[in-house]
Amino acid sequence: MSSTDTPTDSEEEAAVDHARNDLVARLTAHLGEGFIESHLVAGDDLCVRVSRDSWVGAAEFTKTGLGFGYFSFLSGIDWMPSPFGRDMDAQVDLQLDGSDDSPSADEGDTDHSTIDSGVAGGDTRFQVFARLNDVVNGLGITFKVDIPDNDLSVPSWVGVYPGANWHERECWEMYGIEFTGHPGLRHLYLPGEFEGNPLRKDYPLLARRMKPWPGIVDVEQMPDDDAPTADPAEAGDNNGGEE
């Protein structure tokens, strides 16, 4: 977002902040203990983590009480770092990993042993997240819920948003998360007898198992300057790998 007009922007930001802060307040009031954590980026976005028991209640309140009638999507996240590594084990990548080119070398988490959840926290390996929109005011909310490892299930949203039907089917087949109360959990994309849950991190991407990653090709040492107009950043922008 451009910040050329600071007074209007901060006014606007404050105004939008208001709207989102108001949402957080009302959700906290309604859900009480079900409301675990929230992450608000002023003027931009809002992410709320709720408990599994109040998953459906949060949806209902958001739809009827807060006016968020639009169902955008629902899917899952697997926070376990992939046991296969990043599948990018070519020499050149290990070089790049340790290089000083990246400005965020110290922010990036290259330790692949712990489960590190994103914004609005999280305690478990699996999370289900969904996005709702308010078309009148142009706001959006992302809801997240933790799924305990020993009981991979969460109540279904189909009663509140019928559009969740297919999204939950996809999440079920890709992650193996049960949606209790769903009218018919069956495969959406995958053929009927498919075994396994492809989007889990421990499900291998066979293409990479069979043929190792050749590395980012064509990274040559450029002559002196990195002037963007003369030389747009070309790292890996040619499709060097297989699709």
Partner 1 sequence: MTAISDREKLSYIAAQAADARLNLELETEGMTLNLGPQHPATHGTLRIIAKLDGEQVISAEPVMGYMHRGYEKLAEVRTYPQVTALVNRIDWVGSFANEVPFILAAEKLMEVEAPPRAQWIRTTLFEMSRVANISLFLGDMALQLGATTPAFFAFRDREHVLNQIEAVTGGRFHPNFDRIGGLKDDLPAGWITETKRAMRKMRQFCEEMEQLVLGNEIFAARSRGIGVIPADIGLSYGLSGANIRSSGVDWDSRRDNPCGLVHSELDWKVWTHPDGDSFARFWVRLQEVRESTKMIDQLLDGLPSGPIMAKVPRIIKVPAGEAYVETENPLGVMGYYVISKGDLVPYRVKIRSASFSNISITPWLLQGVYVPDIITILASLYFILGDIDR
**Window 106-125: residues binding partner 1 (CB under 8 A):** 107-110, 116, 118-119
Sequence-separated (6 or more) residues with CB below 8 Å from residue 165: 158, 182, 183
**Window 182-201: residues binding partner 1 (CB under 8 A):** 187-191, 198-199
When asked if residue 210 is in the footprint of partner 1 (CB under 8 A), the reply is: no
Work out which of 6, 91, 150, 239 binds partner 1, going by CB under 8 A. 239
Site stretch for partner 1 (CB under 8 A), options 9-17, 29-37, 146-154, 230-238: 230-238
**Window 125-154: residues binding partner 1 (CB under 8 A):** 129, 131, 135-136, 138, 140, 142
Task: Please say whether the beta carbons of 213 and 90 come within 8 A.
Answer: yes
Q: How far is the CB of 103 from partner 1 (least distance, A)?
A: 7
Instruction: Decide whether 150 or 221 has the Cβ nearer to partner 1.
Output: 221
Chain mean position to CA 53: 21
**Window 3-42: residues binding partner 1 (CB under 8 A):** none
**Window 157-176: residues binding partner 1 (CB under 8 A):** 160-163, 165-167, 174
Instruction: Decide whether 33 or 123 has the Cβ nearer to partner 1.
Output: 123
**Window 71-100: residues binding partner 1 (CB under 8 A):** 71-73, 75, 77-78, 82, 86-88, 93, 96-97, 99
